[in-house]
Structure 1
Amino acid sequence: MELDTMDFRILALLQQNGKQSYSEIARLLDVSEGTVRSRVNKMLKEDVFEFIIHTNPNKVGLNVQAIIGLETRLGKQDSIACQLQGHGSVRFIGAFSGKHDLIIQAYFKNNDELVSFVNQDLSEIEGIISVDVNVELKQYKDTFSYIDR
């Protein structure tokens, strides 16, 4: 699917307020509600975006965020990533070039949970050579907004 200017304008408005009605978006863009609805449905069908709830981790008791770099054995990257997908505390898993083969982002209630995750959960996964744990000390930005307004 190739997006046009109207699609990007709709995305920008939804990004500002995902609860905004199609009729309100249509009014702001001077198009019909049907146009907005059909374009949104098409973009949803094509996986251009999805509606999600972005929870503030600190407000739900997840006070420790860690970015964890993993060095893996050759041929084990996919297997390790698949195993990590099942862990509830892991929010993001990505394969990267550079020092780490996989980088994960995970949230924990406290440091003890993080230590347990590293020493128990990660240590049981075959193919992990080394683990580099980085704990967030202060957050300056956290967004899922990719469209310029």
Structure 2
Amino acid sequence: MSKFDPLDQAIITYLNRDARIPSARIARDLGVAERTVNNRIKRLVETKVIQLIAVVNPASFGYTIAVEIYCELEVGHQDQAIEAIGNMPEVSYIALSTGDQDISLQAFFKDSEEMHAFISQKLHHVPGMRRTRTILIPQIIKDNYQWIPPDQAFERAEGVS
């Protein structure tokens, strides 16, 4: 695990608020060299600590139905199912889960007919799919893309640049 200091924390906080903010502005506000900020950002991206991406609002494109789907698989089909589901454009994330469900996924749809077709015609034909449980998400309260680790995750290092 990499070590992070308060400068990393400050840079991440700036980028989390606005990923388009110029490095020069961050450097000026933090009182460090622009090259230092650029090097830190480069390291954070290369080590996959952060991603500088555009996050799409599905509702802007008419995808107003969000669902969580929990899938139970037959033994030995996990890899096949993950590959098949991961290639479905409706799916925004897929994760392994614990308990009586093997996979958790989130998907977006324009209407209930599209959602039903996805579940009955696509998802239920995935190799090894035993059953699914779908939960409609009426409102997303907190978007995980805005998450930042708590202060204690950043070391108090002196003279680090």
TM-score class normalised by the smaller sequence: over 0.9
Q: Could you tell me the TM-score, scaled by structure 1's length?
A: 0.94
Is structure 2 residue 51 aligned with structure 1 residue 50? Answer: yes
Structure 1: distance between partners of 2:56 and 2:124 = 29
Structure 2: distance between partners of 1:94 and 1:28 = 38
Residue in 2 aligned with 1:29? 30
* SS of structure 1 residue aligned to 2:39: helix
Residue in 2 aligned with 1:120? 121
Q: What is the 5 A alignment of 1:15-26?
A: 15-26=16-27
Residue in 1 aligned with 2:78? 77
Is structure 2 residue 9 aligned with structure 1 residue 8? Answer: yes
Q: Could you tell me the TM-score, scaled by structure 2's length?
A: 0.88
1:138: how far off?
Answer: 2.5
| Paired positions, count | 149
Unaligned runs of 5+ in 1: none
* SS of structure 2 residue aligned to 1:6: helix
Q: What is the 5 A alignment of 1:95-106?
A: 95-106=96-107
Q: Which amino acid aligns with 2:139?
A: K
Structure 1: distance between partners of 2:75 and 2:140 = 34
RMSD of Structure 2 on Structure 1 (CA): 1.3
How far does the alpha carbon of each residue in 1:32-68 deviate from its partner, in whole angstroms, 9 at most, with x for none?
Answer: 1000001101111111111111111111110110100
Unaligned runs of 5+ in 2: 152-161
Higher relative contact order (CA 8 A, sep 6+): 2
1:145: how far off?
Answer: 2.0
